[in-house]
Amino acid sequence: MTTWEAALTIAGLALITVLTRGFFLIPEREVPIPTWLREALRYAPLAALVAVVVPEIVLTQGQLIHTWQDARLFAALTGGLWFWWQRGILGTILSGTAVMLVLRIGLGW
């Protein structure tokens, strides 16, 4: 790739990024969104989080885990129970991490 092609590629990517990111800033007034779409978008962050976290818990190198003796399962369960009980993010992280460390270091899971 020549210098000219690289510069053109970078400029094109920058233009596409500005247009897609600034799409909602360009109009002078708010773009009307149907109620059903607004309601569906409320669940997008949760769906994205689940799509990232669940495979990390139940997969090892692209394969489903074979045994229940996996520290990630118990750490996720502990964190979930803590959040259900206390509704606190810090406690959720600390309790899940504590269980993960005890099972990994203490039991060698």
pLDDT value at residue 6: 96
Regions in the chain scoring below 50 on pLDDT: none
Q: How far is Cα 34 from Cα 26, in angstroms, rounded to an integer?
A: 19
pLDDT value at residue 88: 94
73-88 per-position pLDDT tens digit: 999 999 999 999 999 9
User: Would the pTM of this model clear 0.85, i.e. be above it?
Assistant: no
pLDDT value at residue 57: 94
Which tokens belong to 71? 């520290």
